[in-house]
Structure 1
Amino acid sequence: MTAVAEPVGSRARRWEPWALGAICAVAALLYLWGIGSSWGNSYYSAAVKSMSQSFEAFFFGSFDPVGVVTVDKPPMALWLQVLSVEVFGFNRFAVLLPQAAAGVAAVFLLHRAVRRWAGEHAALLAALVLALSPITVVINRDNNPDTLLVLLVVAAACAMTRAFESRRATGWVALAAFLVGCGFLTKMLQAWMVLPAFIAAYWLGGRAGWARRLLDLGIAAVVLLVSSFWWVAVTALWPSPKPFIGGSEDGSAWDLVFGYNGFGRIFGAGGGPGGGFSGSAGLLRMANEQLAGQISWLLPLCALVLVSVLAAGIRRLERARLAGWVLWGGWLVVIGLMFSFAQGIMHPYYTTMLAPAVGAVTGAGLVRFWHWYREPGARGWLLPIGVAITVAWAMAVVARDLSWHAWAGYSAAGLGIVALVVLLLGRRGRARLAKSGLALGLAAILLVPTAWSSIAAVSGESGMGGTNPMAGPETGMGGPGPMRFGAPPDGGGLALGTSDGRMPELVRSGPGGASLSAEQRKLVDYVRAQAGELTVPLAIEGGSMAASSYLLNSDLTVIGMGGFSGGDDAPSVAQLTEWEQSGELGFVLLGGGPGGMRSPDDRQPPGAVVIGPGGQARSDRQEWVEQNCTPVDPAAWGGSADGLELYSCGSAGDR
C-alpha cells in the first residue's frame, strides 16, 4: 500500500511548530474568553468553596463546609479547582481556569499522539478539530469534570501510542492504565469506556510477542484497578462520622460507582430519564436536534474514512498504523454507540469525549484521502465526496433553525461548492488548483462548527448555563414537551420543561449561583445575627438547587439538604434530631426550587425531565421540620409574607 503519512521521526518543517502553537493559542482564546463572568456549574463551584475549608471536605468532595453530603462525582476535577483558588483566591476565574488549561493541554497531547501514528499534517488537523468542536469549547469554559476526563484519556492514548512502537512496552501500557484510573476518579465508569479500543489496539498492534502482550495487559489491569478504586476504598474505611456520598442510595461510593454513575446511566435504573437532555436513545441520537450541533459535524466524514480504510484492507497496514486505526476508530465507534443507546441521564456535554477520536479519524482520514486524490483511480474521488457530504450535513443542521446565524451555513455551502469545482479541476494534474481545493474544502467543513464555537465563547451563552452547557440556538436544548421548574409527584428531584422549545432565563442560568436577592440577603443577615456561631446556622431544603447561591455569595455556613436535587438522605432525620437536641441547628429554609423557594406541588407535564432521584427522604425531612421547628414571622427578618419559609429549630431566633 502506498505510504500516506510521513515517517514518525521525520524532521518537522519550520512552520509546523508554529502551526501547533497557533492552534493552542486559538483554543486558549476560546476557552478563556470572558470566563470570569460566570460561576460555571454553581453546584461544583459551591463545593470548591466548601472543600477549601477543611481537609476532610477536600478529600471527600463535600458540597457543604460541614461535610454532610458530597457532590455526586469523585473529587479529582474539584481538587484541581481547589488548588487554583488557593493560589488565586476564591473567584470565578480561579474556579474555571483549570478547565481551560486542561482543554489546551488535551489539544496539545492529541497532536503528539496522532503525530506518532499518522504524521504531522494529520496531527495538526486532529488538534484543530478538537480545539474547535462546539461542545468541547463550551464544556472547557465550565467546571464540570468532563474536561479533565478528556485530558486524562487523551494522555492515556498518547501513552498507548508509544507502547505500539516498543517491544518492551510494559511501562507505557501501565501508564495508560494509571491515567484511565485517574479518569475514573474524575467521572467513574465513563473513563473505562475507552478500554475496549485500548485493549484491542495493543493486542492487534503491539510489537511484543503474544505472551508479553498478555502479561502487559495483566499488569495494566492491576494498575487500573488500584488507581481507580483507592479513593473508593478509603471512603469506605474512613471512620464515621463522614460525609454521605451524594447520588448514592446508601451513602457509599461503591453504590455510586455501580448505581447512579454506573449502570443507571446505561440502563436508566436510578439515573433518571435522559431523553429530555439528549433526545431519545437510538442509533441516530447523535444526529438529533439536541446533539447534532454539538458533535456531529464531522461524523459523516469519519464514517466515510473508517469504511474506506476497511475496504482498502487493514491487514495490509503495518502494526503501528493498524493499532492507531483500531484505537481511534474503536474509541469513536464504541463510545458513540454507548452514548447513542444510553437510557439514563445523558447530557449533551458528555459527547466531548468523542471529540478527540473525531479529530484523530478526521485528520488521518483527510491525509489518506489527499494521497489517494493525487493518484489515479476511483478512490481519488473520496476527498471531494467527503467535503460534499460534510458540508451538506452542516447545512442540514443549520437549516433546523435558520433564524440563528444562518449565514454560517450559507457560507459553508458556498465555499463547499467552490472547493468541489476546484478539486474536480485539480484532479487533472494541476497541483496548485488541487492544493487550493483542499484548503477551500477544509475551510468549508470547519466553518460552521467554528462559528458555533466562537459565538458561544464570545456571547457567553451556552444552553442551560453551567448545568448543561451547549453551543448553538436555544431550540431543542431541553427536549420535547413543556419545560418548567417543578416538583415530581414523589416529592424528589426537579422537573424541567419548555412550552416553545426555548430555555427560560431561570433554567439557562443554572441552579443557584446568581447573586442573592435583597430578601435573601436580609434572611442571611438575620440568621447570622441569631445563629451565626452554631455548627449549622442554616440548612436549606432542595439541595444545591436552593443552597448554591447562599454558599457562593455569603460567608454563612449553609447546608444544602438532599445533595444535588434534594433526594439524598443527607442529613437524615436522625442527624437533624441530633443537631436539634445538641443545640447545633439554628434555622431551616424549606423549599425545593431555585433560591430556596417552595416548588409547586402540581404534577410535572408530559415530556418533562426529572433531574435526580426522588424518594421518601426529602418529605421525611420536611415533615420533621414542620413538627419540630417553629415558623419565623417574615416581619422578624424583613421578608414578605408570600416569600421564603424560614423555620427556627433551636434557641436562636423568634420562636
Structure 2
Amino acid sequence: MTTYDHGTRDAGRPAAAQRPAAPQPPQPLAASAIPAGQVAPATPATLAATDGRQAARPQATGGSRLTRVWRGRPEDPRWARPALWALLAVTTVLYLWSLGASGYANQFYSAAVQAGSESWKAFFFGSSDAANSITVDKPPAALWPMALSVRLFGLSSWAVLVPEALMGVATVGVLYAAVRRRFSAAAGLIAGAALAVTPVAALMFRFNNPDALLCLLMVSAVYCVLRALEDARTTWLLLAGVCFGLGFLTKTLQAWLILPPLAVVYAVCAPAKFGRRIGQLLLAGLAMVVSGGWWVAIVELWPASSRPYIGGSQHNSFLELTFGYNGLGRINGNETGSVGGGGPGGGGGGGGRWGETGIDRLFGSDMGGQIAWLLPAAFILLAAGIWLTWRAGRTDTRRAAFLVWGGALLMTFATFSFMSGIFHQYYNIALAPYIAAVVGMGAALLWERRNEGGRAGSAASAVLAVTVAVTAYVSYALLGRSADWHPWLRWAVLIGGLAAAAGLLLTGMLLTARLGRTAALAAAGLGLAAGLAGPVAYTLNTVDTPKRGSIVTAGPSVAGGMGGPGGGRMGGPPGMRNGRQGAGLQGQGQGNQQGGQGQQGQGQQGQGQGGRQGMPGGGTGGGQPGGQNGFPGGGFPGGGQSPQNGKGNAQGQGQGQGQGQGQGQGQGQNGRPGMLPGGGGMGEGGRRGGMGGLLDGQQVDAKTEAKLEKNADDYTWAAAAIGSQNAASYQLATQQPVMAIGGFNGSDPSPTLAQFKEYVQQGKIHYFISSGTGMGGGPGGGQGTSSQITSWIEATYKKVTVGSTTLYDLTQKSSTSSKSSASSTSWTLFD
C-alpha cells in the first residue's frame, strides 16, 4: 500500500520513508483503487504540517463527538483546538463590544432591513420601504439575514448588526480551517488572528453594508475549491459555485473578481484527467448561474408596474445596474446616476474624485491604515511559498493553496489599485482574508524549512527576518500618519520588529542547541507581536468609535487622508489630500436647487481658527468637479485647526461652484484634539459638508416624529423625501414607509413627476420632506425628476413649522400658487 504526501518537497514518495509506522486511520486508498489520472485523496495525516512530533502522534480512538469538537483532530497538538476556541471567543467579544453605539450604522440599508421585516415582498426585492417604491442599489441577499433577525427580535441596532458580527466570527473560523488543512494549526491561527484584527475587517463586521456577507462567501468559496483540489470531488466545486452565486446576489460582479485565478488553478492542478477537470468547472459554473440567476430572472420577468423600481439604474433594469453602475462603471468611472454625476470621474491623478490610481494606491494616506499593514509581508511570503513549492508535482496541494490564495490576492489588489470608478476605503475588506491566509501559510512553511537546518534553513531564516523587518517599518510609517496618537507605539513596533528580525537571523545559526530553539521561538513571538500591534491598535480604536453613514473608515484620523464626500468621524476621514487642515465634526450643507450643466467646481479657501500653538487657519476646500449631468460642485470641507488640547471650536469651511447654478458648502464645528506635531489640530471631515446630508441621515426630533406617525396608517407612505438616506432617518424613527425619491443619490428617475402627482391625488402620500440643502434636484441637476417634484410641491402646497422641521401636508393646497423657497439649513417638511 502506498500513501502520498501532499506536502512540498516529497510529494509522491512512499510515506513510510518519512513518517513513523504508527497507525493513521482512515487508511488511504490502495493504488489499484485509484482511477487513472488521479492521486490518492488527502487525509488528515497527509495534510498535516511536516512536524515529526505531530506525525508520530497516534490517532485517538473512541471518545464522544463533543470531546472531538473540543480537542480537535487527533493529529493536531493538544493546544490547537483550545487555541482556536479562544481565538473565536476573543473575535466574538471584539466584534460585539459596544455594538449598539453605532445606532443603525448605514441607515440606507437599515431602512431596507426594517422594510423587509414588515413586508415579504420588500424582503424579496430589497426595497427601501415596505410600500415598495424603490429598491436599494444592490441585490438583496445581504439584507435577508438582518431582516430575519429584526422579524425575530424587533427593530434595534443590535438586531441589525449582530448578524454581521457573527458573519465575521464565521469567516475567521472558515479561514482557519482552510489554512490548517494544508499546513498546521499554528498557520491557521496566525491567519485567523491576522484577519480578525485587520482594521477594515473589524470595521465592516460591525457594520451593515453587504461586504461582511460577501467576505464570508468568498472565503467559503476558496475553502470549497481547495477541498476539491484534494481529490477532485465534484461536490466541492458545486458548493463553490453556489457560494459565488450567492455572492453575486450580495454585491453583483465583485463576487466574481477572483473566479479567473481559482478556475485556472483547478484546471491545472486538480488530480483528475483534463477533460474531467473542464467538465467539473462547467458544472460549477452552472451551479453558480442557477444559485445567483434565479432571483435575477424573477425580477426581470416580473411586470415592472407591480414591483419596486430598481434603485441605481436609469431604466428600471437590474441588468443595467449590474453591468453599468455596479459593474463596468466601477472600473472605468462611467457611472450614470452616481454621487459624482454621470461621466467619468473628474480631477487629476487617474482616479478622479475617488483618489489617484496606481500600484501604491492602497498604501496612500486614506487607504494604508485600513489594509496595508501586512500587505508587503504577504507579497514576500507569497513569492517565497511559490519558490519553495515550485518543483512539487502538478497536484501538490500546498502549492495549489499558494496559487489560489495568491491569485485571489493579486487579482483583487490589481483591480482596486487601478479602478477609476467609485472606490471607498472599506472596500479593502475583500483583501483581508487573502492577505491573512498567505501570511499564515508562508510563515508556517518558512518555519518548517528553517527547522530543517542547512543552507535552506539559513535562507528561510533570512526571509523571515526580512519579512518581520519590513512589516515593522510599514507599521512605523502608518502609525506616523497619526503622529500624536499614542506616539510611543510606532517606536515600540519598530524597535521590537528589528530586534525580532535580528533574533531570527542569529538563532538560525544555533539550531543544534536547545537554547537556540528557545530563542528562535521568542524571536518569532516578538516578531508576530510587532507585526500585529499596529493593526490591533487601529482595530481597538475602531471598536471604541461609533460608525454611522455611508462612508466609514477604521482607525484614527490621519494626516493627508482623503475622505469621500461627507467623510469624517461618522462618515470618513477629512476631505483633504495633502494638507493637514481638518474640517469640523458636523457640517451643514446648503445651496440652491438648480444644477444646470456643471463642469468644474472651483473650491474657495477654507477659513479656520488656530488655537494655542496651532497652525494658521485656512487651506483649500477644493470644489468637487461637476458631473456631466449637472451635479452641484459641492466643496469638500476646508481647513480649520483645533487648539492643542482639542477643546477649541474649529470653523473649517469649503465651497465649490459648478458651472451653471449648482453649488454647495459645508461648515464644520468642534474639531478633534490636535493630531499633528507642534500642536496643530486636525478635525474630522464634515459629516454633511459638501453633499449636504446625501450620505448620512438626520436626527428626527420628537415633535416631527409624532406628527408623521399620526394617521400614518391611512396612507401608503407617511412621507416622501429626496434621497434614500434622508427618507431612511424618518422611516426608522417612525417605522412607517417613507418614499425615497430618486433612490440613494436622488438621481434615479423614480417616481416621475406624473407618477408622484398621481400618488398625491390618490391620497397615498401624506407629507414631503425637503432637505433644504440645495439637493432638491439631486445629482441629476435642474431637469431631474427630483427637482421637478420639489418645485411642484413648493409651488402648490403650504408650509407649516413643527419643532425644527417645516411641514407641507400634501392633502391641503396653499391659498396662493407662489413658489415657496426653503433657505434654511435645517431640514424641512412641506405640508
One-letter amino acid matched to 1:626: E
**C-alpha contact (below 8 Å) 2:557/2:684 kept by paired residues:** no
**Where is the helix percentage greater, Structure 1 or Structure 2?**
1
Q: Say yes or no: does 1:285 pair with 2:361.
A: yes
**C-alpha contact (below 8 Å) 1:204/1:323 kept by paired residues:** no
Partner of 2:396: 319
**C-alpha contact (below 8 Å) 1:569/1:618 kept by paired residues:** yes
Q: Say yes or no: does 1:15 pair with 2:15.
A: no
Residue 226 of structure 1, CA deviation: 1.7
- Distance 1:576-1:150 versus aligned 2 partners, 3 A rule: same
User: 1:550-574, CA deviations, whole angstroms, 9 ceiling, x for partnerless residues?
Assistant: 1111244321211112111222212
Alignment of 1:405-484 (within 5 A): 405-429=486-510, 430-457=516-543, 459-462=544-547, 465=549, 467-473=551-557, 475=559, 476-478=561-563, 479-480=575-576
Q: Say yes or no: does 1:308 pair with 2:384.
A: yes
Alignment of 1:421-570 (within 5 A): 421-429=502-510, 430-457=516-543, 459-462=544-547, 465=549, 467-473=551-557, 475=559, 476-478=561-563, 479-480=575-576, 485=589, 489=598, 495=634, 497-500=636-639, 502-504=683-685, 506-507=687-688, 511-513=695-697, 515-517=699-701, 521-529=702-710, 533-541=714-722, 543-570=723-750
Rounded Cα–Cα distance in structure 2 between residues aligned with 1:391 and 1:613: 49
One-letter amino acid matched to 1:456: T
Partner of 1:379: 459
Q: Say yes or no: does 1:618 pair with 2:696.
A: no
Partner of 2:799: 632
Residue 461 of structure 1, CA deviation: 4.3
User: 1:493-541, CA deviations, whole angstroms, 9 ceiling, x for partnerless residues?
Assistant: 8946222374345349994455413xxx433433444765122331112
User: 1:62-121, CA deviations, whole angstroms, 9 ceiling, x for partnerless residues?
Assistant: 111211111111111111001111122110001001100000000000111111222322
Rounded Cα–Cα distance in structure 2 between residues aligned with 1:277 and 1:356: 28
- Distance 1:187-1:252 versus aligned 2 partners, 3 A rule: same
User: 1:125-146, CA deviations, whole angstroms, 9 ceiling, x for partnerless residues?
Assistant: 1111111111000110100010
**C-alpha contact (below 8 Å) 2:712/2:736 kept by paired residues:** no
**C-alpha contact (below 8 Å) 1:384/1:420 kept by paired residues:** yes
Residue 414 of structure 1, CA deviation: 2.2
**C-alpha contact (below 8 Å) 2:262/2:404 kept by paired residues:** yes
Rounded Cα–Cα distance in structure 1 between residues aligned with 2:418 and 2:500: 36
User: 1:265-290, CA deviations, whole angstroms, 9 ceiling, x for partnerless residues?
Assistant: 11111154495886311111111011
One-letter amino acid matched to 1:540: A
Alignment of 1:73-92 (within 5 A): 73-92=138-157
Name the SS of the counterpart of 1:165 in structure 2: helix
Residue 6 of structure 1, CA deviation: 8.0
Partner of 2:819: none
Residue 611 of structure 1, CA deviation: 8.4
Residue 202 of structure 1, CA deviation: 0.7
Partner of 1:594: none
Partner of 1:368: 445
One-letter amino acid matched to 1:279: G
User: 1:159-217, CA deviations, whole angstroms, 9 ceiling, x for partnerless residues?
Assistant: 111101114x2111111011111011000000001101210221122101100000001
Rounded Cα–Cα distance in structure 2 between residues aligned with 1:334 and 1:418: 34
Name the SS of the counterpart of 2:807 in structure 1: strand
Rounded Cα–Cα distance in structure 1 between residues aligned with 2:310 and 2:502: 59
- Distance 1:292-1:611 versus aligned 2 partners, 3 A rule: farther
> Which sits farther off after the overlay, 325-334 or 473-482?
473-482
> Which sits farther off after the overlay, 106-115 or 6-15?
6-15
Rounded Cα–Cα distance in structure 1 between residues aligned with 2:281 and 2:301: 29
**107, 112, 124: which is aligned to 1:59?**
124
TM-score normalised by the chain length of structure 1: 0.90
Rounded Cα–Cα distance in structure 2 between residues aligned with 1:638 and 1:310: 66
Q: Say yes or no: does 1:231 pair with 2:295.
A: yes
Q: Say yes or no: does 1:577 pair with 2:663.
A: no
Residue 432 of structure 1, CA deviation: 1.1
**141, 164, 167: which is aligned to 2:206?**
141
- Distance 1:207-1:291 versus aligned 2 partners, 3 A rule: same
Partner of 2:265: 201
- Distance 1:267-1:356 versus aligned 2 partners, 3 A rule: same
Rounded Cα–Cα distance in structure 1 between residues aligned with 2:193 and 2:297: 40
Rounded Cα–Cα distance in structure 1 between residues aligned with 2:156 and 2:149: 10
Rounded Cα–Cα distance in structure 2 between residues aligned with 1:612 and 1:417: 54
User: 1:302-338, CA deviations, whole angstroms, 9 ceiling, x for partnerless residues?
Assistant: 1112222344462435521222111100000001101
**C-alpha contact (below 8 Å) 1:149/1:183 kept by paired residues:** yes
**Coordinate RMSD, CA, aligned:** 2.8
**C-alpha contact (below 8 Å) 1:183/1:191 kept by paired residues:** yes
> Which sits farther off after the overlay, 214-223 or 228-237?
228-237
Structure ID, larger Rg: 2
Q: Say yes or no: does 1:646 pair with 2:807.
A: yes
One-letter amino acid matched to 1:225: V
Partner of 2:615: none
Residue 619 of structure 1, CA deviation: 1.7
Name the SS of the counterpart of 2:230 in structure 1: coil
**C-alpha contact (below 8 Å) 1:138/1:469 kept by paired residues:** yes
TM-score normalised by the chain length of structure 2: 0.71
Partner of 2:642: none
**C-alpha contact (below 8 Å) 1:142/1:466 kept by paired residues:** no
Partner of 1:157: 222
User: 1:408-439, CA deviations, whole angstroms, 9 ceiling, x for partnerless residues?
Assistant: 21221121132123223312211111111111
Q: What is the total number of aligned residue pairs between the two structures?
A: 629
Rounded Cα–Cα distance in structure 2 between residues aligned with 1:225 and 1:494: 41
Partner of 2:611: none
Identity score, percent: 35
**324, 327, 346: which is aligned to 2:423?**
346
Unaligned stretches of 5+ in structure 2?
1-7, 12-43, 49-54, 56-74, 511-515, 564-574, 599-628, 640-681, 816-830
Residue 630 of structure 1, CA deviation: 1.1
One-letter amino acid matched to 1:77: A
- Distance 1:32-1:26 versus aligned 2 partners, 3 A rule: same
Higher relative contact order structure (alpha carbons within 8 Å, sequence separation ≥ 6) = 1
- Distance 1:147-1:3 versus aligned 2 partners, 3 A rule: farther
**C-alpha contact (below 8 Å) 2:248/2:256 kept by paired residues:** yes
One-letter amino acid matched to 1:545: Q
Rounded Cα–Cα distance in structure 2 between residues aligned with 1:493 and 1:420: 53
Unaligned stretches of 5+ in structure 1?
592-596, 603-609
Rounded Cα–Cα distance in structure 2 between residues aligned with 1:94 and 1:287: 35
Residue 491 of structure 1, CA deviation: 6.0
One-letter amino acid matched to 2:377: L
User: 1:443-489, CA deviations, whole angstroms, 9 ceiling, x for partnerless residues?
Assistant: 111111111112211x2245x65532322325415153697646675
**64, 84, 93: which is aligned to 2:158?**
93
- Distance 1:507-1:413 versus aligned 2 partners, 3 A rule: farther
Rounded Cα–Cα distance in structure 1 between residues aligned with 2:766 and 2:119: 22
- Distance 1:3-1:86 versus aligned 2 partners, 3 A rule: farther
Rounded Cα–Cα distance in structure 1 between residues aligned with 2:311 and 2:520: 57
- Distance 1:494-1:251 versus aligned 2 partners, 3 A rule: farther
One-letter amino acid matched to 2:357: A
Rounded Cα–Cα distance in structure 2 between residues aligned with 1:255 and 1:203: 32
